[in-house]
Amino acid sequence: MIPNQSLAVFLAAALALNISPGPDMLYVISQSLDQGRATGIASALGIGAGTLVHTMIAAVGLSALLISIPLAFNIIRYAGALYLAYLGIKMILVKTRKDQSVEPVSDEVCLRDAFRRGVTTNVLNPKVALFFLAFLPQFVVRSEGGIMTQFVMLGLLFDTSGTSVNIIVALIAGRAGMSIREHSLLNRIQKILPATILIGLAVLIVLS
């Protein structure tokens, strides 16, 4: 088991990192502004599920491959950027579409798609895997044994903290989106702002 003092430091560091604006939070904001808080929450839960994937990858040491093989890192990075750009462009096309004869999609399907997009967005971000590989070992106590168990435990705690923060962000951004839609000028801005955020994230991933 991890000593309580080390665990307390980890939780404080995790919370500080999770409340700092980053790609995941910006993604949740874009989805909440565009489609409401339910979609934002589903996106946050999807990102949380994606983080679990990174936790397991870090636990078995596969993240190290991304460091030793730059080509693999770049392939995943560019794939993630293209996916975000695709989502942003698709969002713009949907907003500007004049054809109103499209069959409506159920809320359940929309939320399931939002969850899936959240998972994909997070899994295709190799920097999350590298972050876990760099951050989690700092709090693993080798003398306590069970290295993989400690990795998984720390990853779950970090994921729980991050998902909780993103859900709160989704609630706030969803509420803000509702208020924006009540004003014509702000409503027009709101139609392109979420897509702009996603495309901007794609550009930052490529350039960083």
- 60-119 pLDDT tens trace: 876 666 667 778 778 877 888 888 888 888 877 876 664 444 444 456 678 999 999 999
26 in a structural domain: no
17 part of a folded domain: no
Does residue 143 lie within any of the structural domains?
A: yes
How many structural domains is the chain composed of?
1
Q: Are 202 and 88 in contact (CB under 8 A)?
A: yes
Q: Pick from 46, 17, 1: which is nearest to 132 by CA?
A: 17
Confidence label for 192 from pLDDT (cuts 50, 70 and 90): confident
99 domain-assigned = yes
Average pLDDT, rounded, for the chain = 82
Q: Domain for residue 19, yes or no?
A: no
pTM here is: 0.77
22 lies in a domain?
A: no
pLDDT above 50: residue 5: yes
Report yes or no on 23 lying in a domain: no
**Of 115, 138, 120, nearest in space to 53 by CA:** 120
Residue 25 lies in a domain: no
Quote the percentage of the chain above a pLDDT of 90: 24
Domain residues for the domain of 87 are 4-12+34-207
